[in-house]
């Protein structure tokens, strides 16, 4: 963890508008004289996307950059593999200044050391999953057999076995991004750049992928630069977090330190959004119960339903899906043995949630003390779904 693999020094990136001919150099001078990016934009038409940004990333760590849209984070990450050429400043990858590289050297850098994952995946829909993953190897000139076996390995790593030959259009958003990650990893890069990689995904899938990314990182010890606008994501993933405003680094530290001592109101505002369980509601994590029987069905159907679903309990509902209770395998067997009657066997004291928009934070205590998953019912008492303790836990840790 000690060695610095990536170092950014006084990085400026300015975008010149076509109409007004002021040079970037004058604009940088104006910045250094203390003019704000907004003033410079009004005067010269030049947009300051990165304003004197410096940071270091150690080998094997996850460094997250966070900022609102337009804060320059996407520009900065594109400077790290020179998709954008910085206006001034230096970027060192393993102590080599890549801003001095020519096109040939840059191609080599991108093929071997730095790979990128994109917000909207950037996948080629004329290729299947496997040849998308193999793309980086293909352009390096790796032979077909070798690149396909490597690609298969990566597809397995991101949990997409069996999907190798599927078309990209057939995948969900989460799966597409798994392909994106596999494609980047197939090149075996030292540094992985992730530009809002999970922002286009829905919260649950995002949680899964964050969790898996941490797992992959644990296994492969990559260095990751992760861009996000979501502070929860930044804190969950990052060993260090840099927070950007209008192209300027406002604070650069560990998540704990940032939580304890936010540099200013801008940072504080971000931090106010931290608790992820406030964002996720019951609706996001509830699932349909596997085994469900009608009250009139009797014990044999209950047993059969449990057996065919591989579960040890079944939910009992009335004629119009009204939730009545739960019957365990133990009780059902007792009924069949004649020790209990069916009505007595149904457990009815199960905590019920009436609003599917209840934040998860509000049901933690309820769930902690419950013996069975919580039950979610609609206003008319009909069963909507169940929320297991495991689901609640993973919504925290993911």
Q: Taking CB under 8 A as the rule, does residue 111 contact another protein? A: yes
106 scored as a contact of another protein (CB under 8 A): yes
The answer to whether residue 83 forms part of the interface with another protein (CB under 8 A) is yes
Cβ 103 to another protein shortest distance, Å: 9
Closest contact distance (angstroms) between CB of 191 and another protein is: 12
Q: Is 85 in the site for another protein (CB under 8 A)?
A: no
Specify the residue, 115 or 293, whose C-beta has the smaller distance to another protein: 115
Distance CA 209, CA 114 (A): 21
Site for another protein contains 158 (CB under 8 A): no
Q: Does 159 bind another protein (CB under 8 A)?
A: no
Identify any residues that bridge with 244 across adjacent strands, giving them in sequence order. Answer: 67, 249
Smallest gap from residue 386 Cβ to another protein (A): 39
State which of positions 124-143 bind another protein (CB under 8 A): 124-127, 135-136, 138-140
Could you tell me the smallest distance in angstroms from the CB atom of residue 214 to another protein? 23
Structure token digits, residue 249: 């680094």
Q: Length of the chain, please?
A: 398
Nearest Cα to Cα of residue 307 among 319, 290, 295:
290
Q: Does 69 bind another protein (CB under 8 A)?
A: no
Q: Does 18 bind another protein (CB under 8 A)?
A: no
Helix runs in 221-281, H state only: 231-237, 255-260, 265-271, 276-279
Sheet with 374-377: list strands edge to edge.
352-353, 374-377, 383-387
Question: How many angstroms separate the most distant Cα atoms in the chain?
Answer: 92
Q: Is 118 in the site for another protein (CB under 8 A)?
A: yes
Among 71, 24, 26, smallest CA distance to 50 is for: 71
Distance CA 57, CA 283 (A): 38
Q: Partners of 347 in the beta sheet?
A: 326
Residue the block writes with tokens 């993953």: 133
Q: Which stretch binds another protein (CB under 8 A): 11-19, 104-112, 262-270, 373-381?
A: 104-112
Nearer to another protein, 5 or 252 (CB): 5
Q: Look at strands 313-317 and 323-328 and give their pairing.
A: antiparallel
Is residue 15 near another protein by the rule CB under 8 A?
A: no
Does residue number 123 form part of the binding site for another protein (CB under 8 A)? yes
| Residue 168-207 contact track with another protein, rule CB under 8 A, x = bound | ---------------x---x-----x--------------
Contact with another protein (CB under 8 A): which of 12, 121, 198, 235?
121
Burial of residue 34 (CB within 10 Å: 0-12, 13-18, 19+) is exposed
Contacting another protein within 369-388 (CB under 8 A): none
Q: Tell me the site size for another protein, rule CB under 8 A.
A: 30
β partners of residue 227: 65, 195
- For tokens 């400077």, name the residue: 79
CB of 139 to another protein, least distance (A): 5
Looking at 58-143, list the stretches that DSSP marks H as alpha helix, in order from N- to C-terminal side.
73-79, 103-112, 129-133, 135-140
Report if residue 107 touches another protein, rule: CB under 8 A: yes
Binding site for another protein (CB under 8 A): 81, 83, 106-112, 114-116, 118-127, 135-136, 138-140, 183, 187, 193
């Amino acid at each position: 963890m000690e060695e610095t693999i990536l170092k950014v020094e006084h990085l400026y990136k300015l975008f010149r508008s076509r109409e007004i001919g002021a040079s970037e150099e004058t604009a940088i001078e104006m910045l250094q004289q203390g003019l704000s990016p907004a003033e410079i934009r009004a005067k010269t038409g030049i947009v300051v996307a990165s304003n004197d940004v410096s940071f270091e990333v150690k080998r094997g760590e996850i460094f997250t950059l966070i900022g609102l849209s337009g804060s320059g984070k996407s520009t900065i990450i594109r400077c790290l593999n020179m998709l954008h050429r910085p206006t001034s400043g230096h970027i060192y990858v393993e102590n080599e200044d890549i801003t001095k590289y020519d096109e040939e050297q840059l191609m080599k850098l991108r093929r071997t050391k730095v790979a990128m994952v994109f917000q909207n995946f950037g996948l080629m829909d004329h290729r299947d999953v496997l040849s998308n993953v193999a793309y980086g190897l293909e352009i390096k000139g790796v032979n077909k057999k070798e690149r396909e076996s490597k690609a298969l390995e990566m597809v397995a790593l991101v949990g997409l076995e069996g999907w190798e030959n599927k078309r990209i259009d057939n995948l969900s958003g989460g799966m597409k991004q798994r392909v994106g990650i596999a494609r980047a990893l197939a090149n075996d890069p030292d540094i992985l750049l992730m530009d809002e990689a999970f922002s286009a995904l829905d919260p649950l899938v995002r949680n899964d992928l964050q969790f898996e990314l941490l797992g992959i990182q644990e296994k492969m010890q990559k260095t990751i630069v992760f861009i996000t606008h979501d502070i929860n994501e930044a804190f969950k993933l990052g060993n260090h977090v840099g927070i950007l405003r209008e192209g300027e680094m406002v604070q650069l530290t560990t998540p704990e330190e940032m939580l304890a001592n936010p540099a200013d109101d801008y940072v504080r505002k971000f931090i106010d959004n931290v608790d992820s369980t406030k964002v996720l509601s019951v609706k996001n994590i509830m699932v349909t119960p596997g085994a469900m029987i009608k009250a009139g069905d009797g014990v044999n159907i209950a047993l059969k339903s449990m057996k065919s679903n591989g579960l040890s309990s079944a939910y009992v509902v009335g004629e119009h899906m009204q939730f009545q209770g739960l019957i365990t395998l133990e009780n059902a067997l007792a009924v069949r043995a004649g020790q209990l009657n069916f009505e007595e066997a149904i457990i009815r004291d199960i905590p019920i949630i009436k609003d599917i928009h209840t934040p998860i934070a509000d049901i933690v205590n309820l769930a902690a003390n419950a013996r069975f998953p919580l039950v979610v019912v609609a206003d008319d008492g009909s069963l909507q779904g169940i929320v297991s303790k495991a689901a609640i836990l993973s919504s925290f840790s993911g």
